Amino acid sequence: MSELDDLHHQIERLLEVGRADEARRLAGRALALDPADPDTLCLLGAAAAEAGDHDEAKRLAHAALASSPDHEPARVLLFDVLMEEKAYAEAEAVILELLRDNPADPDHMAGYARLLLRVYQLEKARALVAEALRHDPDHALAQVLDALLHVIRGDDRLASARLGRMIAADPDAAHVVHTAIVVLGERGKHREALELARELLRARPNDPELVDTVIELRLASHWAMLPLRPFIRGGWPFAAVMWAVAVFGLIALRLFVSDTAAVAVGGPYFALVVYSWTGPPLLRRWLRWRGF
């Protein structure tokens, strides 16, 4: 293995564990060996993207493509950066070119499905995921997307079945744990989802999105949220039904019972409404302040 190959290998490992700054330093050394090497430019770009420097990542992807126009990792990097920049039409053009060049590549099918999920083209995303899984039934991203698309459709049974297959294959993989958190949360098993999210947070304590997820799951599974559980489960359609039942039910009730009895029924309802407005935000602040 040449020195450059060895450096590439080390940079890839560093990127896998999220150590972007060290990866960038090492990539600088690799670049000194061959400033036009597309693999090095691409890895440096991936490190920049990991560090949130999308402009630099895009510049490096273009530099790699100038050096080698068909360089696949550079095209994938460009696609990822365009996705992050929400330049979805441009990202689609890149991934479609990749798919036309490699029509049987499940990575690109799953990548395109991920993009389509972002722009709510769910049917086409489902078709691409099915196609990716036909080519590679164990494809990680395609399986994650399949589970998420089942959750979106409200088909918890199929989502759980997909999750079960993923757990059987690789129970500790981060993408499996992430999917499990989403599926369990959607099925109302917030406590189980919370335990998984806490485990993941121990491994990645600086991930702000994960912190938010843990807080929301802790909130949903907290005993103080027990009276609001039907609202959490039923969402805004349930709130709409409850409003209609309460208002017109109370009017009907006043026709048949005394005002005192109507107040006895209406009082707890209005207390619940006030609590639904004030309880969750206060508890969320408390959890953020006190820890979770």
Residues in touch with other proteins (CB under 8 A): 86, 88-89, 92-93, 96, 99-100, 103-104, 109, 112, 115-122, 124, 127-128, 131, 148, 151-154, 182, 235-237, 239-240, 243-244, 247-248, 251, 254-255
Nearest alpha-carbon partner for 67 in 102, 35, 33, 100: 35
* Least gap, CB of 133 to other proteins (angstroms): 13
In the complex, the smallest distance separating the C-beta of residue 88 from other proteins, rounded to whole angstroms, is 5
Rounded to an integer, what distance in angstroms lies between the CA atom of residue 150 and that of residue 183?
9
Shortest Å, Cβ 245 to other proteins: 11
We find the least distance from the C-beta atom of residue 151 to other proteins, in angstroms, to be: 7
Q: How far is the CB of 250 from other proteins (least distance, A)?
A: 8
Of 31 and 176, nearer to other proteins (C-beta) is 176
- Amino acid identity for residue 21 in this structure: D
Cα 192 to Cα 168: distance, rounded to the nearest angstrom: 18
The structure tokens 């399949």 sit at 146
Burial call 269-290: b when 16+ CB within 10 Å, e when fewer: beebeebbeebbeebbeebeee
Q: Pick between residue 182 and residue 272 the one whose CB is nearest to other proteins.
A: 182
Nearer to other proteins, 38 or 185 (CB): 185
Q: Which is nearer to other proteins, 44 or 82 (CB)?
A: 82
Name the residue nearer to other proteins (CB basis): 28 or 103. Answer: 103
Question: What is the number of residues in the chain?
Answer: 292
d(CA 198, CA 196): 5
Give the residue from 209, 182, 212 showing the smallest Cα distance to 196: 182
Q: Do the beta carbons of residue 217 and residue 178 sit within 8 Å?
A: no
At its nearest, how many Å lie between other proteins and the CB of residue 266? 12
What is the number of helices (H) and of strands (E) in the chain? 15, 0
